[in-house]
Amino acid sequence: MAILETIVIAFWAMLPAYVPNNAAVLAGGGRPIDGGRTWGDRRVLGDGKTWRGTAMGTLAGVALAAVLTVIEPTASDALGFAVPAFEPLAALGLAGGAMLGDILASFLKRRSGRQRGAMFPGLDQLDFVVVSLPLTALLATEWFQTWFTLEVILVVVVLTPILHVTTNVIAYKLGLKNEPW
């Protein structure tokens, strides 16, 4: 498979997992998931993980997957190779897994003494991949095996941190995010 083709497929397949974090930044606020609870002298998750942000992030990812599925035949035609249409469970695994990964990362950040907004290099850039891919493999196994070949997974692992850093710096410069990570 040509490398450019692999990159396009990886990017397309991961879009429903990329969008939730950004949507959560825009839609977040309100009641924190941990309800303000602490474990020891630290918050369980912190004020940065809210019900609204999580719900809206997941919805945004699933909605994008639906749109991509509608335009898939046209896109595949124009590209000259097939990009994925999303099964509902694949969309849910990617979008919900991204939000879950972000929440687990905040849990780890709080446990390791990091305040809300603190940087955790590596985890910040890949938390959503680490959960969304296994969850999708679990929920939509055949679909996952069809599209997430070893090559695609390798591209995702390299491409995701680059995209994550870029979009977060842009969101920071636009004043949408408090920190550029």
The whole-angstrom separation of Cα 60 and Cα 63 is: 5
Name the nearest CA neighbour of 94 among 69, 124, 128, 122. Answer: 128
Residue 53, interface with ligand CTP (CB under 6 A)? yes
**Measured CA angle at 162 (ends 117, 122), to 5 deg:** 50
Partner interacting with residue 58 (select from ligand CTP, K ion, none; CB below 5-8 Å by kind): none
Per rule CB under 6 A, count of chain residues that contact ligand CTP: 20
Report the amino acid identity of residue 108: L
Q: Which stretch binds K ion (CB under 5 A): 22-30, 100-108, 113-121, 141-149?
A: 100-108
Residues in contact with 32: Cβ distance below 8 Å, sequence separation at least 6, in sequence order: 45, 46, 47, 48, 49, 50, 51
Partner interacting with residue 135 (select from K ion, ligand CTP, none; CB below 5-8 Å by kind): none
CB of 87 to ligand CTP, least distance (A): 24
Site for ligand CTP in 115-174 (CB under 6 A): 116-118
- Among 15, 64, 97, 109, indicate the residue that binds ligand CTP (CB under 6 A): 109
Residue 42, interface with ligand CTP (CB under 6 A)? no
The contact set with K ion (CB under 5 A) reads: 102
